[in-house]
Amino acid sequence: MRAVTIGSMSVLLALLTLGQPHAPGQGSGESDCLSSATEKPPVYCESIEVGNIALATKNFTATFVVRFESKFFSGLEHVRTSHGSEFRKAGHPVSSYPGEFTLGIVPPLDLNQLGKPLPAPLPLPAVRLPPEMQPRRVVVRWLDSRQRVLATKSTDLEQVEESWTELRQPRVWYRATIRGVNQALASGLEVLVTGDGETLLGTMHGRL
């Protein structure tokens, strides 16, 4: 039997993962990092975790992470000022969301005490949601300080299932492209996920 070297294993891993879709915040490069609470000011990565959402019916509950992903978010800073806070990028103030970004509803990863993924994290086993609670659509609402709705975007969700390999557990997640956004980065957020027949499965409140 021919010995398998570390180099050949690396090539095998690259071939197995080539072309695989990656969940926001769980891929390669910058998008698999998290903003760190220890950084002052916080510097965001390409993928931003905005909160957790529990999808539930009478007999089943599963928790997912809601993430926004766009190259626009990479290097974005949230700076505290004498009059509150503001967002900056490359030292210049920015106030609005990009016109388009990807919303991901993904399984959580194991994190260390600093809130960063453990070395070479593997996703949790695929969550097989029962048919009656398959996510079909997502609604994103931007809210003012009084929780009044400023704008709403609604679109279909696409299910993504990463194929099985011997080196990686399967993972099921959901994504949608949010377009035509013209809202302030400082706005509050409300994310609603619905299933068949517009049945509400879960709601999340958060902000960048």
- Domain edges within the chain: 22-206
pLDDT tens-digit map of 69-93: 999 999 999 888 887 789 999 889 9
> Is 149 exposed, middle or buried, given 0-12, 13-18 or 19+ CB atoms closer than 10 A?
exposed
Q: Which residue type does 163 have?
A: S
Q: 45 near 35, Cβ under 8 Å? A: yes
Q: Exposed, middle or buried, 81 (CB in 10 Å: 0-12/13-18/19+)?
A: exposed
Alpha-carbon dihedral of residues 19, 25, 31, 35, nearest 10 degrees? -170
- pTM assigned to the model: 0.74
Structure tokens at 61: 């509950």
By CB atoms closer than 10 A (0-12, 13-18, 19+), residue 121 is middle
pLDDT digits (tens, 9 = 90+) for 97-121: 999 999 999 988 644 434 444 444 4
* pLDDT band at 202; cut points 50, 70, 90: very high
